[in-house]
Amino acid sequence: MKMTHYRIFLVNNDKAIAAGLTFRPLSRTIEDTLAWDAARSSDAEWRAGLKPERERELIKSLAHSIDA
């Protein structure tokens, strides 16, 4: 994370909690994310993360550096 963005973790959420903010279990978030992904088109492109081709390049490069 860029050092300019660390302040997001300094935000006080006491007022939001007092007003009724609740937090869902992480397991529920994971389940819902997996269900959402399964419902997407198989050719849907991710907007974040590495492209499969770049991931393969990096893995190949890492494997070569380990073997050296």
pLDDT single digits (tens) 8-20? 889 999 999 999 9
- How far apart are alpha carbons 50 and 42 in whole angstroms? 17
Q: Is residue 59 part of a domain?
A: no
Which residue's structure tokens are 């006491």?
A: 14
Domain that holds residue 34: 1-41
Instruction: Locate 39 and state its tokens.
Output: 């419902």
pLDDT above 80 (res 51): yes
Find out whether 55 and 62 touch, Cβ atoms under 8 Å. Answer: no
Q: Is residue 55 part of a domain?
A: no
pLDDT reported for residue 45? 81
Q: Is residue 48 part of a domain?
A: no
Q: Is residue 68 part of a domain?
A: no
- Number of folded domains that form the chain: 1
Q: Is residue 61 part of a domain?
A: no
Q: Is residue 33 part of a domain?
A: yes
Q: Determine how many CB atoms are found less than 10 A away from the CB of residue 6.
A: 9
Q: Is residue 67 part of a domain?
A: no
Instruction: Locate 47 and state its tokens.
Output: 């907007």
Find out whether 26 and 33 touch, Cβ atoms under 8 Å. Answer: no
Q: Is residue 57 part of a domain?
A: no
- pTM to 2 decimal places: 0.49
